[in-house]
Chain A
Amino acid sequence: MRTSKLNGIVFLLALLVLWECVAQAGWVNPLIVPPLSRILQVFYDLVSSGQIPLQIVASMKRAAAGYLLAALVFIPLGIAMGLWRRVDDFFAVIVEMLRPIPPPVVIPVALLFFGLEDSMKIFVIFFSCAWPILLNTLDGVRSVDPILLHTARTFGLSYGKTIWQVILPASAPQIMTGLRVSLPITLILVVISEMVGSTDGIGYFVLDAQRRFKVAQMYAGMLVLALLGYVLNVVFDWVYRNLLSWHVGSRKDES
């Protein structure tokens, strides 16, 4: 197993070295694929000058706002829909009608309503995260083992207490799945909405660099996005492991 990790690292490094050599030798048009060293240099410069951190903050503000808003609205809605048939019925058709809309297609609507403001991106992210969060929450609540509900009843738990002490913890793993799936969606949509209608943010940064033929900068921006994606995943996993430590263990056991 050790060797396989080593293989991966070696291969990756080899590719990077190859990139550098090929670019330096001029076999590829440096205006399209600059040497890796140049990209890293530009990356470093932009980070230390504060340019990149500025853009990151701009993007992350919107991403966080949209993501949290979606969670705040759609987790309770999903719980309500999971618990009460009537509520589920009420919203079911509307949800089914809105679901097939690919999220980016909502951007022009958001532009219409909010212009180039932050609220435009927040709205787009809110809409995009809605379905994974809603549907996973709904599913989680619905698939709580009936035996757990019987257990609550035999111990004489009131309805409210049953929801709070049994149903919510039992559906927490599935709710987390919805939140986890929404993470890359959030990142993707923040980038797209910034590419289509923004004056700052990483998405804008990358596209703008391309437009002005600042190619190394463009790649640097992509690197930032890859790192952001990675970091967000790590952070989420950390939160997940701490919040749902009981579940992490039991899943490992399920072999």
Chain B
Amino acid sequence: MTEAKRFNWLGWLAFAGLLLAWEFAARGNPKLQLYFPPISTIMASLCQLVVGGRIGGHFWVTVIRFFAGYALAALIAVLLGIVLGYFRVLHSFVAMLIEFLRPMPSVAIIPVAILLLGIGDGMIVAVTVYASIWAILINTIEGVRHIEPTLIDTARTFGLGRGQVLWQIILPAASPYIVTGLRIGLSIALILVTTAEMIAGSKGLGFFILDEERSMNSSNMYAGIVVVAVLGYALNRVFLIIESKAMRWHHGMTARGGA
């Protein structure tokens, strides 16, 4: 049921129309310009910030914090998730704790983190790790728990040791779930990094956007938002590309209506 990808003229026209309306409303109405600086001005600011390098520093700071937090969270959550998913007894102990901590919005941890780690990279990475762990952990546990016992028995029949079972059977079999968790964790990580930067940062895109707002430089503020949006989009794209390569077997299977 795949239809040929037709170009969405209407949609792009609507989008362009929106931008043009914005542009002309702003130009014609100086009072509006603080809230809705003309698109052209925003684009100009964007160029200036990028070329002039002012936003470069903030950009890389955010990206590094993001990767540090996300990678760490992924590592911990996947390993922990596999252990908890596999050893049911262990999971039963921790299950209640997880149930109680889950409903708490992870951003509530920021004040504690500030208390413990002050403001700075450490705190920001720490809260990112905390928040991203949940989605990845829970999905990983799900994935491991749902593995067909037959698969593991088959592996054992072939004489595979515990470690090999883990690497060759459990990880691949649970990977669709894990990937879902990783995808959710990606968005969460970006959200937390920018949030922490807004609340208690002195560098980074989150801080930059807020700072520009405080200085009433709305044009720079919007430019910063564009940068973050592009970053978010790029990260998602990269993730999808990696995922489609790594999970080709799964895509084929589900396309045929398999498990």
Contact = CB atoms under 8 A, between A and B. Distances in A.
Contacts of A219: 112
A12 B107 contact: no
A112 B109 CA distance: 26
A221 B110 CA distance: 12
Nearest to A209: B111
A102 B170 CA distance: 33
Interface size of B as a range: 35 or more
Interface string A102-115: 11111111011100
A147 interface: no
Given A195-B107, A196-B210, A225-B104, A103 B8 contact: no
Q: Is the interface of A mostly helix, strand, loop or mixed?
A: helix
Given A7-B89, A196-B210, A233-B103, A112 B221 contact: yes
Interface stretch (A17-25, A47-55, A183-191, A245-253): A183-191
B221 A4 contact: no
Contact of B10 (A90, A107, A227): A90
A89 B8 contact: yes
A27 to B, nearest CB: 15
Q: Looking at chain A, what size class is its interface with the partner chain?
A: 35 or more
B34 interface: yes
A102 B228 contact: yes
Contact of B94 (A8, A89, A103, A106): A8
Contacts of A10: 93
Nearest to B191: A102
Interface stretch (B140-148, B172-180, B230-238): B230-238
Interface stretch (B73-81, B193-201, B251-259): B193-201
Contacts of B115: 32, 210, 215, 218
Interface in A190-211: 191-192, 195-196, 203, 206-207, 209-210
A86 interface: yes
A109 B221 contact: yes
Nearest to B106: A188
Contact of B12 (A12, A93, A107, A209): A93
B194 A105 contact: yes
A226 B218 CA distance: 36
A154 interface: no
A187 B108 CA distance: 10
A8 B95 contact: yes
B14 interface: yes
Interface string B1-41: 00000001111101100100000000000000011000000
Contact of A112 (B8, B35, B104): B35
B228 A7 contact: no
A7 B93 contact: yes
Contacts of B34: 112
Contacts of B35: 112-113
Interface in A68-117: 86, 89-94, 97-98, 100-109, 111-113
B106 A92 contact: no
A9 interface: yes
20 contacts: A4-B95, A7-B95, A8-B92, A8-B94, A8-B99, A11-B93, A32-B115, A86-B10, A89-B11, A90-B11, A94-B15, A97-B15, A100-B232, A109-B221, A111-B210, A111-B213, A113-B35, A226-B108, A229-B103, A230-B103
Interface of A: 3-5, 7-12, 15, 32, 86, 89-94, 97-98, 100-109, 111-113, 184, 187-188, 191-192, 195-196, 203, 206-207, 209-210, 215, 218-219, 221-222, 225-230, 232-233
Given A12-B96, A89-B10, A218-B111, 16 more contacts: A4-B89, A8-B95, A12-B97, A12-B100, A32-B115, A90-B10, A91-B14, A93-B12, A93-B14, A100-B233, A101-B232, A109-B221, A187-B105, A191-B108, A192-B198, A226-B103
